[in-house]
Amino acid sequence: MSNIKGKRYLPEGKHVMMGNVAMSEGALAAGLDFFGGYPITPSTEVIEHLARRMPEVGGVCMQMEDELASINAVMGASLVGAKSMTATSGPGFSLMVETISMAACLEIPFVFCDVQRNGPGTGFVTEPHHNDLGLMRFAGNGEFGVIALAPMNCQELFDLTINAFNFAETYRCPVFIVSDAYLGHLHEPLIIPPKEEIIKKVIPRELPDDLTHKFTYFDNKTKTYIIPKPPIMGTDYVPLMFLHQAHNSSGMSSQREALPFTKMLTDKLTTNIDKISITEEYKIDDAEIIIISYGLPVRTSYRAVDIARKEGIKVGILRLITLWPFPDEKVKDIVKDAKAVIVPELNYIGIIAEQVERVTDLNIPIIKIPKICEFHHPDDILKVIKEVAK
Amino acid sequence: MSAYPSEQPEHPYLSISMPGKFFKRYLSLFCAGCGYGIIGHLFNRVFEDEKVDPKLHPVVIGIGCYGQILLTLHHATQRILTLHGRAPALATGMKMANPKMKPIIFTGDGDSLGIGGNHFMHICRRNLDCVILIFNNSIYAMTGGQGAPTTLFGAMSSTTPYKMFEPRVDGVKLALTAGASYVARTTVAHPRTLMKYFRKGLKHKGTAVIEIITPCITYFGRKNLDSLGAENLGIKGQKMDNTGIMIDWIKRNSVRINQAKFMTEDELMNKYIIGEFRYDPTKPEYSEEYEKIKKIAMGEK
């Protein structure tokens, strides 16, 4: 890739690259200025690629001394107005949760790519296991909302990373990219859109016109949450002090703010769920059996559905791209008349299946297909479809 | 002296602190006899006298009693309270994302030498352009007087109720070994020296580590005798339960670096060596080195 030296945007057209690299290029296209990381399998290609690419485009890629330092450096960079991100895997993620909680409290935006691997403990480091989804939702102490986006191929790793940066800028919360060991190491073709198209899509970090409010507040007139641009240290647009306690829109903390503040951290996302939530439907209009999935298992589900349709079984897929906040209403609406719901997931307890159970009627059976450290074969899903259809 | 308070001349540095600017009075949340008020005021004086640009000198504050110092700091400073021990890491991100900045890091002994020891060591190793002020009161005062990594041998604390038996960590030695280019130690009993070192640190290009020995009467002084640090003399001490005794003890217990050269290890046990340990303006600074890497990467050579 020597022909792209010094350029932030790759030439448009078809490229073949690894998932982790596609994610890094997506981040660069979204305007990444600072990357702080610590090598951990299977996310190492991200820091390796960015260590070469970031100085070329005038950005900074730092290999910090540990995960705690890297996420704090990312937060520090974001505070002075740099778009920043980090990439890690399970054990690194558990070290970082402390800072995610603080960043959510101060509404400091950054993007967090979690290339998940098998766990608990060290686990099998090059095998996929979607076991960090619960940690993502409840990362750190305190209550707050997060956004998690689950791509399923290299093209989406590129596109959704741009989306993730835009969500971070707009909603000022930690945004996760749900990748995994297989997806991160997958080599696939992808089409890079023209530079102009990307620039039009990206939301830049800039100072707002109105400098009064620094943090999200509830507007009593419109009954909505107004989310101002993130403050930038080194300019006039900073609160009196950054205190990681419940605070009002100017940054002054008080215990009376605790309830409205905690409510705000969750509700600023749930009230905007129409804009945040991305889902895809496949042959769902007349489907009696619904497959709800995300990430890599969706790809095998497509194949299983095509085979089942040929045999006359009415089955469709609801693919979740935004996992958190969970699209309650959407799922409820789709599964209300279903005969059964199948949730193939790369984990045992079914973290998303539990969410589906929460929003569906008790009489609709929810069948989990757990797989760990390996792919679902289309036959695995087809077998369950046939059993349900009987 | 005039009889009426209204006729008393205003202190020349009153209105630069935040409560001074807004309420025309001093405000402090520290215990009586605490040294952090002194440090905060001296910081403000240097900040004002040197006309430091607050936009380029963000104040990054760790977790400890000194966290409350953000109320007494200069009104124009841009300050952020960070997580316990992570202030150097956060400042690294700030400095690298905006290389014009020179963060000032306030950190404590438990903060930088205990939980954040790794971050402290690596910011010194990189020689990142910043000033690190370590407030060393030899105790975890915010949580109620537990033993710290810097607690003196034989001292009492709430987690070492019989006596402290762990050897202590020396922040200056750690900074020197890790490679900080300006290292000094002083105490709040030497305010002018403190200001001098801080000025020098601000002008220095590279990591400036200044350890400040400060008294904690509530949790350290009340429980300990002022014979601490003079064990070999066999004198019977008294409780350090007021400012005078504690400041006296700090002065008596600190040894100048020139004197320390002629003292044995035993004599220096539980003593604080004060002075400038290293001043090396030639050492390459991290963000400048990274700018060179950027030029190589862009093909400019």
Q: What is the pLDDT of residues A296-305, one digit of tens each?
A: 999 999 999 9
User: Would you call B296 and A55 a contact, using CB atoms and an 8 Å cutoff?
Assistant: yes
In the block, tokens 């690298």 appear at B96
Residue of A93, A115, A140 whose CA lies nearest to A41: A115
The answer to whether the CB of A152 falls within 8 A of the CB of A296 is: yes
- Per-residue pLDDT tens digits for B148-195: 999 999 899 999 999 999 999 999 999 999 999 999 999 999 999 999
Which of A50, A233, A236 is the best mutation test for B, with the most CBs of B within 10 A?
A233
Q: Which residues is A13 bridged to in the sheet?
A: A192
Instruction: Indicate the CATH number of A2-201 among 3.30.420.40, 3.40.50.300, 3.10.20.90, 3.40.50.970.
Output: 3.40.50.970
Arithmetic mean of pLDDT over chain B = 90
User: Would you call A60 and B94 a contact, using CB atoms and an 8 Å cutoff?
Assistant: no
Q: Kindly state the average pLDDT of the residues B14-43.
A: 87
Structure tokens at A251: 């940054």
pLDDT value, residue A2: 39
Residue of A91, A114, A74 whose CA lies nearest to B89: A74
Taking CA–CA distances from A242, the nearest residue in chain B reads: B80
Which of A2, A7, A63, A75 is the best mutation test for B, with the most CBs of B within 10 A?
A75
User: Would you call B78 and A233 a contact, using CB atoms and an 8 Å cutoff?
Assistant: yes
A334: burial class by Cβ within 10 Å (0-12, 13-18, 19+)? Answer: buried
- Per-residue pLDDT tens digits for B253-266: 999 999 999 999 88
Residue of B138, B145, B141 whose CA lies nearest to B159: B145
What whole-number distance in Å separates Cα of residue A4 and Cα of residue A18? Answer: 16
pTM for the predicted model, two decimal places: 0.93
User: Would you call A233 and B56 a contact, using CB atoms and an 8 Å cutoff?
Assistant: no
Phi and psi torsions of A132, nearest 5°: -100, 5
Which of B22, B52, B98, B122 is the best mutation test for A, with the most CBs of A within 10 A?
B98
What whole-number distance in Å separates Cα of residue B176 and Cα of residue B205? Answer: 16
B96 contact residues in A (CB cutoff 8 A): 34, 60, 62, 73, 77
pLDDT value, residue A1: 43
pLDDT value, residue A361: 86
> Domain spanning A279-389: which CATH class is it, in words?
alpha beta
Cα A205 vs. chain centroid, distance in angstroms? 20
A58 contact residues in B (CB cutoff 8 A): 294, 298
Which of A62, A241, A247, A252 is the best mutation test for B, with the most CBs of B within 10 A?
A241
User: Would you call B101 and A36 a contact, using CB atoms and an 8 Å cutoff?
Assistant: no
Q: Kindly state the average pLDDT of the residues B125-151.
A: 93
CATH of domain B18-297: 3.40.50.970
The answer to whether the CB of B21 falls within 8 A of the CB of B15 is: yes
Where do the DSSP E strands lie in B260-301?
Answer: 272-279
pLDDT value, residue A31: 93
- Per-residue pLDDT tens digits for B216-253: 999 999 998 888 887 777 778 888 888 899 999 999 99
Instruction: Delimit the domains of chain B by residue range.
Output: 18-297
- Would you say residue B211 has pLDDT above 90? yes
Taking CA–CA distances from A236, the nearest residue in chain B reads: B55
Instruction: Delimit the domains of chain A by residue range.
Output: 2-201, 217-274, 279-389
pLDDT value, residue B301: 58
pLDDT value, residue A3: 47
Among A5, A34, A70, beta carbon nearest to B97? A34
pLDDT value, residue A54: 92
pLDDT value, residue B234: 72
Tell me how close the Cα of A236 comes to any Cα of chain B, in angstroms.
8
pLDDT value, residue B267: 86
The answer to whether the CB of B182 falls within 8 A of the CB of B278 is: yes
Using pLDDT thresholds of 50, 70 and 90, give the confidence band for residue B5. Answer: low
Tell me how close the Cα of A362 comes to any Cα of chain B, in angstroms.
44
Among B78, B83, B100, beta carbon nearest to A99? B83
Among B79, B83, B96, beta carbon nearest to A62? B96
Tell me how close the Cα of B110 comes to any Cα of chain A, in angstroms.
17
User: Would you call A56 and B298 a contact, using CB atoms and an 8 Å cutoff?
Assistant: yes
CB pairs under 8 A between A and B: 120
Per-residue pLDDT tens, chain A, 390 aa: give them. Answer: 434 556 888 889 999 999 999 999 999 999 999 999 999 989 999 999 999 999 999 999 999 999 999 999 999 999 999 999 999 998 999 999 999 999 999 999 999 999 999 989 898 999 999 999 999 999 889 999 999 999 999 999 999 999 999 999 999 999 999 999 999 999 999 999 999 999 999 999 989 888 889 999 999 999 999 999 999 999 999 998 888 889 988 888 889 989 999 999 999 999 999 999 999 999 998 899 999 999 999 999 999 999 999 999 999 999 999 999 999 999 999 998 899 999 999 999 999 999 999 999 888 999 999 999 888 999 999 999 999 988
What whole-number distance in Å separates Cα of residue A139 and Cα of residue A146? Answer: 9
